[in-house]
Amino acid sequence: MQQSKFVQDVLVLKIALTEADYPELGPGLQIGLLDETSLQEMIANAEGLPESVYRRRLELGDICYCLKTDGKLACYNWISLTRCATYCGFEQEITFRTLSDLQVFTYDFYTYKAYRNRGYGLLVKKHLLTDLYRRGRRVLLNFVEPDNDASLRIHFKLHYRLEAVVTNIRLMNWGCSFQSKTPRTAMVEQWITSYKAYHQL
């Protein structure tokens, strides 16, 4: 839910896109871009966001990769082709970087609670990495909050690397973001090294 004021630290991660095969999918699984049927499922789901947020994302040219199991939406990941931002699609989103034609930014990576711990998130990530490369993109950026353990594990398993530490600040209608200086980034890199070693990633 959108907040009128917050301070948010995020890890901006990146990965170089390379030629690869699409992941093999099990019986009943499909991955593709968002269509109107999937959009209506998102809107109707109690775990979703307001319809206006999704519509605004589409108006901005964002796309979304969706995984379905037996025809039902289970997992998705939104993609911006133009900007890195927090609260994407909300009226008060904060953009902290403009993308080149070779870059993309992923956000709102979500698996519905009924479908978790089945490996669906990893399948979506592998699929979009391959598909975006074939669409001409070469670098993928993403941000993860430091306490989102499930997301960190997936991204480090896929060999994402730290690009920057960014702090986003929102106070009513005013917002800004700034990138941490080298000493703090170095400390976070040390923490990531320990985290990956502990989880054998």
**β-bridge mates for residue 154, sequence order:** none
* Spatial distance between the Cα atoms of 37 and 46, rounded to a whole number of angstroms: 16
pLDDT (0 to 100) of residue 1: 46
- Based on its alpha-carbon atoms, the radius of gyration of the chain, rounded to whole angstroms, reads 17
pLDDT (0 to 100) of residue 181: 63
Domains of the chain: 5-198 (3.40.630.30)
The torsion angles phi and psi of 111, rounded to 5 degrees, stand at: -120, 130
Distances (CA, A) of 174 to 9, 39, 171: 17, 30, 5
Query: Considering the entire predicted model, what is its pTM?
Result: 0.82
pLDDT (0 to 100) of residue 189: 77
Q: Would you write out the chain's pLDDT as a tens digit for each of its 201 residues?
A: 455 666 777 888 999 999 999 999 999 999 999 999 999 999 999 999 999 999 999 999 999 999 999 999 999 999 999 999 988 999 878 888 899 999 999 999 999 999 999 999 999 999 999 999 999 999 999 988 888 888 888 888 888 888 888 776 666 665 666 666 666 777 777 877 887 887 887
